[in-house]
Chains A and B, each alone.
Chain A
């Protein structure tokens, strides 16, 4: 189990969090400390142990294909940071990624 250095800048990009260089350093140090603590797990004998997939095992919980009332559009769009008519307005997208 690797408790090496986290590339905080890369992880922040994945998580869409803008960090200042000072923050990258601060969080880097804090997260490194946490990872050191978490490193105890590498001592646990987990061979042959299955990962907990569900706390309370259940299967096949599903619903019938029956309609339920939708929200009122005005209520929804009123909460939007920006709207244009019947749509949510969002800043321009560059390429496939956003």
Chain B
């Protein structure tokens, strides 16, 4: 079997056991990318030489007797994460051609554990978007239907894993950017608790919301990657000094004794009938596996999108100020420094980025700071408090990851309609909670080429990754939406 079609757990086991070499895996990955990426467009830049270098090192270490948790596992990396010596662009013109001089801590930990860096994947520019259409440097298609978006902003990473062009990928999630595309492409996407994984080397969008997380085919793989990546980093003051209880060891096979909260405000009646049916079945499956379903309430959940679209842009307007044409990246020379700033940023940033910088600057500006930014942070407190109360009566909360399956390119031209794609994922981000999407079925909207995946979002209290991954694993194993074979049937345009 092609190693790209296996799970990470399987590949690592095989490489550690000497059944295959990391070099062979790297070669298979390179061939797979050449075969499929012209249609999918998951990668902005393949790093084949780097993958081979790392493969050689892994093989040497394994020969010397080491057993590496991610030995030879092919890894795709979202292009907002610095990897020394690689082009790191955030899919933006303003960083086109920039080579990072250092490697993000989270990535380094995976590389040290034996993962092979296959390349940098496409994304919405500076992680702002829910479809990957805001990329200035490439177009990524959903492997299930090439006329549809993969979701965003981690669209490239998700498409790579779904299309078998990587076994695991790293994405980043600020308001749903791992979970929503994972749902759209039928893979597992996991956002850990804020502060569990270092943000050093992750190019910042919204500092109080960004988290790096794994995108995989199975929950077990997500747990494996999380265990290696998580933990305090002296280079990131917001990481927490809490022991990481190995999640891979906490995976369970049933849900007996688990209480799962169903959110009253996330009523399924708002969804299209075929989508609703999938989620009703998902909730029924949870019960079948032994879970007790409990109704919980998140009265302020409806305020999530508004809250997020003040806080995230405010932070991003400050984080993106450094892209000014002075020290790196694009410079459009003007008559003086002021004109250079303005021309550089006008040319270098796409419309969505500009919109968010404008709204963010406005929300922080004199006279508006209290009414917008501070008020949004108070709303955030209320949302977090709602979750605390809800978790008093349940161990995890279940809901749709997105209201619908993947939509067609250009279907959501109006920015605000795009923002609503994150309705179900934003509240968990605001509260910093660990949250993931796991495949839970399919829907076939009119005009779709075939069935399109849907994702079940599971969220847990702060720092309860172990329990969360355990619950997700039981659900995954007890349903048939994700099989070990794990590669969805690809349209013939890709496999031809």
Contact = CB atoms under 8 A, between A and B. Distances in A.
A and B touch in the complex (CB under 8 A): yes
B493 interface: no
B371 A2 contact: yes
A38 B306 contact: yes
A1 B378 CA distance: 14
Given A8-B358, A12-B358, A92-B336, A58 B381 contact: no
B432 A44 contact: no
- Is chain B's interface secondary structure helix, strand, loop, or mixed overall? helix
B317 interface: yes
> Interface residues of B toward A: which range?
35 or more
A46 interface: yes
B300 A44 contact: yes
Contacts of B321: 15-16
A63 B234 contact: yes
A96 B361 CA distance: 21
A80 B487 CA distance: 43
Nearest to A4: B368
Given A2-B368, A81-B328, A92-B337, A18 B343 contact: yes
B317 A15 contact: yes
Given A46-B378, A51-B374, A51-B378, A41 B327 contact: no
Nearest to B99: A79
A1 B371 CA distance: 5
A56 interface: yes
A12 B303 CA distance: 27
A10 B405 CA distance: 40
A86 interface: no
A97 interface: yes
Nearest to B242: A56
A22 interface: no
B328 A15 contact: no
Interface stretch (B73-81, B286-294, B349-357): B349-357
A81 B337 contact: no
Contacts of A58: 195, 238, 240
Given A31-B355, A93-B336, A16 B345 contact: yes
A34 B376 contact: no
A52 to B, nearest CB: 4
Interface string A7-26: 01001101111110001000
Contacts of A40: 302-303, 306
Nearest to A23: B354
A76 B328 CA distance: 9
Given A52-B381, A90-B326, 16 more contacts: A30-B355, A33-B415, A34-B309, A34-B355, A39-B306, A41-B310, A41-B379, A42-B375, A55-B432, A58-B238, A75-B101, A79-B101, A81-B331, A91-B334, A91-B339, A94-B336
28 contacts: A11-B361, A14-B365, A15-B317, A16-B321, A16-B324, A16-B345, A17-B349, A17-B358, A27-B358, A30-B355, A34-B415, A38-B372, A40-B302, A41-B379, A44-B300, A46-B378, A51-B374, A51-B378, A52-B378, A54-B208, A54-B238, A55-B384, A55-B431, A56-B432, A58-B240, A61-B237, A63-B234, A94-B336
Interface of B: 98-99, 101-102, 193-195, 208-209, 234, 237-238, 240, 300, 302-303, 305-307, 309-310, 317, 321, 324-331, 333-343, 345-346, 349, 354-355, 357-359, 361-362, 365, 368, 371-372, 374-382, 384, 415-416, 419, 431-432, 462
